[in-house]
Amino acid sequence: MPFNPRDSDSLYTQHFVMKKDIPILKVEEVAIAIIPRLEHEEDYEEFWDAYLINLKDEPIHAVLVNSTGYGEIDGEQRRTTTLRYFWDNIGPKEAVKIEPVQKSVLPLANEYWVSFSFHDYLYDKKYVFVPGSLETMHFTDVPLLHRKGVMIK
């Protein structure tokens, strides 16, 4: 029998029925914060640090973070290298350092794309610190780290 895409039993139709049935769940209680280093920390004048913060009461699993920066500095287009980080698990109410962030790239858009598994569902969210957002006037108290910085939930 020839393939008929309108046939309700065809793989083609089953694919589209299944795709629409996949729930799109919102990422909650996971944040990214970028925090300046304290004076007693190494290279504090040149670096801030980016953290992934699990505010959930349960661990998250298979955590992948892609980071990149892009935009304009002094009239010149710039783009940083895309870096990838992976953790098997991040515990409940735990913060992990993603990477150091050079002060020279703070004027760029700094993007962190986070994917993780929680309760057998794969979540992902893009966190973007837009140009001009990484300034002291935007500081907030960052939970778990007990420091001030810029945070996106």
Domains of the chain: which residue ranges? 28-152
User: Which residues are bridge partners to 117 per DSSP?
Assistant: 61, 122
Of 34, 45, 67, 28, the C-alpha closest to 147 is 34
Using the Cα atoms of residue 130, residue 134, residue 140 and residue 142 in order, give the sign of their dihedral: positive
pLDDT exceeds 60 at position 2: no
Phi/psi at 28 (nearest 5 deg)? -135, 150
What does CATH list as the number for 28-152? 2.60.40
Output the pLDDT for position 139: 97
Looking at residue 76, the DSSP 8-state letter turns out to be E
- Quick check: 141 pLDDT over 90? yes
Residue pair 52/90 in contact (Cβ under 8 Å)? The answer is: yes
pTM comes to 0.85
Which residues are CB-neighbours of 111 under 8 A, at least 6 positions away? 66, 67, 68, 69, 70, 126, 127, 128, 129
What lies within 8 Å, CB to CB, of 59 at 6+ separation is 89, 90, 91, 92, 94
How much of the chain, in percent, has pLDDT values that exceed 70?
87
Q: Is it the case that residue 5 has pLDDT exceeding 70? A: no
Q: What is the pLDDT of residue 22?
A: 74
112: three-class secondary structure by DSSP:
strand
Check residue 24 and give its pLDDT: 81
Q: What's the pLDDT score for residue 70?
A: 97
The helix (H) or strand (E) run that includes residue 16 is helix 11-21
